[in-house]
Amino acid sequence: MIVNKEGKIIARSVKIKKGWRAGVGLMFRRSIKEDSALLLKLNSKYVHSFFVFFPFRAIVLNENLEVVDEFVMKPFRIKRVNGTWILETNVNNRVKKRERLFIMD
């Protein structure tokens, strides 16, 4: 589960992926549940939505899981980012810049 400091749940179900699995992310999926997210370790300075067939919210985080940027990625796009992690979630999950997120068991 990922929450903010006030305890608001951002995502109940979170999968953490690193390495080449992080590069796959949401590819070839048709949707993401409202309460789900993927936390991906960034391998490059770009995030893409190639072969992702729906819009999703991309939340860019630094090494302390503080929000650096957030935006909606439409299918088959690429965007330059500056962060350590990216949280891919439903478009309805909003966060504030500089907000710190926490991973809970």
Instruction: Summarize pLDDT for 9-67 with one digit per residue, the tens.
Output: 999 999 988 887 777 788 888 888 888 999 999 988 999 999 999 999 999 999 999 99
Q: What tokens appear for 22 in the block?
A: 């992080």
How many domains are there within the chain? 1
The reported pLDDT for the residue numbered 90 is 93
pTM of the model: 0.89
Q: What tokens appear for 95 in the block?
A: 């966060």
The type of residue at 68 is: V
Helix, coil or strand: residue 29: coil
Q: What angle do CA 86, 24, 105 make, to 5 degrees?
A: 50
Digit-coded pLDDT (tens) for 87-96: 999 999 889 9
Domain residue limits at 69: 2-103
We report the CATH number of the domain holding residue 46 as 2.60.120.1140
CB contact at 8 A, 53 and 25: no
